[in-house]
């Protein structure tokens, strides 16, 4: 079973995208989840 840690995920996330989502009210974990799901689609 594979497991991705938050630290591993954050390295591949565009910081500007993350900050934009957080500015719109998402917490960091939710913002990272959305960005990663977008990458996988």
**With 0-12 CB in 10 A as exposed, 13-18 as middle and 19+ as buried, what is 31?**
buried
Going from the C-alpha of 40 to that of each of 25, 33, 34, 35, the distances in angstroms are 23, 11, 10, 9
The pLDDT value recorded for residue 39 is: 82
**Could you report the per-residue pLDDT of 4-32, keeping only the tens digit for each?**
555 544 457 788 999 999 999 999 999 98
**With 0-12 CB in 10 A as exposed, 13-18 as middle and 19+ as buried, what is 22?**
middle
The pLDDT value recorded for residue 41 is: 84
Q: pTM of the predicted model, to two decimals?
A: 0.64
């Amino acid at each position: 079973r594979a497991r991705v840690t938050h630290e591993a995920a954050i390295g591949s996330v565009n910081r500007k995208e993350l900050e934009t989502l957080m500015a719109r009210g998402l917490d960091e974990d939710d913002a990272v989840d959305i960005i990663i799901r977008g990458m996988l689609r």
